[in-house]
Amino acid sequence: MSVYEGEYADLYDLFYAEKPYDQEVEFTDRLLRAQAQGPSRRLLDVACGTGQHAVRFAAKGWEVVGVDLSADMLRRAQTRPGGDGVTFLHQDMRELSVPGEPFDAVTCLFDSIGYGVTNDAVTETLSRVRRHLRPGGLFVAEFWHAPPMLAHYDPVRVREWETSGGRILRISRTTLDVVAQLAQVEYSVYQLREDGTYGFWGEVHKNRYFLVQEMDLLLRSGGFEPLRWLAGYDSTAQLDEKTWHVVVLARVAEGSR
């Protein structure tokens, strides 16, 4: 399972500054409250990263706990505005163990469920999530959709950002392991400083992509009842072979443990 470490974690918010966190949390909050059976008070954000979603859920009135495998990402989360209103814990989602009463909702967004790259890892994550939810509790997960990944992925992508200290150049090289349903992304990051020097670091991430029916089976096997399948954070868009990110809403199945 990948870990966002050191300099890469420090630049994470720059890399995803254009991500519409406000709209995603607004959408997810409405989805959870509309389907709630009981209170919508406690929320667990799994693989919370730098806390962008978590602090926004807290601003919506949720009592939020965020967990992540990367201590460096959590360091950023704890120091961001609103971070003092969230409890952040350093945990692997496959070994999730959060003290306290069960949660009303759990989220695992930004395709993070795919960091469990094997069936066993995904199954263990879902089992741990299930144990942390009260009866009738809700789970929202976002995942990479297999059809567009197989047909339209970019082998190489280059992005550049201007900063106060110079320029940041990121090269992403992606290869697919079709049998294992994995995308391996090798990130090469160059910091081009104003004095003519530069820094370099890299990370390799592996993330799994899923078919909808496959995720349906994994969720049901884990004690969940899928309620809605959505084309990203849009309740009106058609979920089809061009949908890159699928959002699923599931409820703890009646009688499951």
The domain in which residue 157 lies consists of 148-208
The pLDDT value recorded for residue 152 is: 96
Give pLDDT tens digits for 170-195.
Answer: 999 999 999 999 999 999 999 999 88
3-class state of residue 66 by DSSP: strand
The pLDDT value recorded for residue 255 is: 80
Give a yes or no: residue 1 inside a domain: no
Widest distance between CA atoms in the chain = 64
CB distance 103 to 132 below 8 Å: yes
Instruction: Give the CATH number of the domain where residue 199 resides.
Output: 2.20.25
pLDDT band at 8 (very low <50, low <70, confident <90, very high): confident
Give pLDDT tens digits for 214-255.
Answer: 999 999 999 999 999 999 999 999 999 999 999 999 999 998
Helix, strand, coil content of the chain in percent (nearest 5): 30, 35, 30
User: 115-131: string of b/e by CB count within 10 Å (b at 16+)?
Assistant: bbbeeebbebbbebbbe
pTM for this prediction: 0.96
Instruction: Give the CATH number of the domain where residue 244 resides.
Output: 3.40.50.150
Whether the predicted pLDDT of 45 surpasses 60: yes
For the chain, give the percent of residues with pLDDT over 70.
98
**Same-domain pairing of 54 and 174:** no
Name which of 98, 102, 101 is nearest 89 in CA terms.
Answer: 98
pLDDT band at 129 (very low <50, low <70, confident <90, very high): very high
Average pLDDT for the chain: 96
State which amino acid sits at residue 217. L
H, E, C per residue of 121-171: HHHHHHHHHHHCEEEEEEEEEEEEEHHHHHHHCCCEEEEEEEECCEEEEEE
Pairwise pLDDT comparison (105 vs 195), residue with the higher score? 105
Whether the predicted pLDDT of 167 surpasses 50: yes
**Same-domain pairing of 123 and 43:** yes
**Same-domain pairing of 140 and 175:** no
CB distance 63 to 41 below 8 Å: yes
Name which of 27, 11, 4 is nearest 189 in CA terms.
Answer: 11
**Same-domain pairing of 203 and 223:** no
**Same-domain pairing of 69 and 120:** yes
**Same-domain pairing of 125 and 57:** yes
Whether the predicted pLDDT of 118 surpasses 80: yes
**Same-domain pairing of 130 and 31:** yes
Pairwise pLDDT comparison (14 vs 5), residue with the higher score? 14
User: Taking CA 6 as the corner, what is the angle to CA 75 and CA 2, rounded to the nearest 5 degrees?
Assistant: 90
**Same-domain pairing of 202 and 116:** no
**Same-domain pairing of 83 and 199:** no
Whether the predicted pLDDT of 2 surpasses 50: no
The pLDDT value recorded for residue 1 is: 43
User: What residues have CB less than 8 Å from 153, skipping those under 6 apart?
Assistant: 174, 176, 183
Pairwise pLDDT comparison (111 vs 1), residue with the higher score? 111
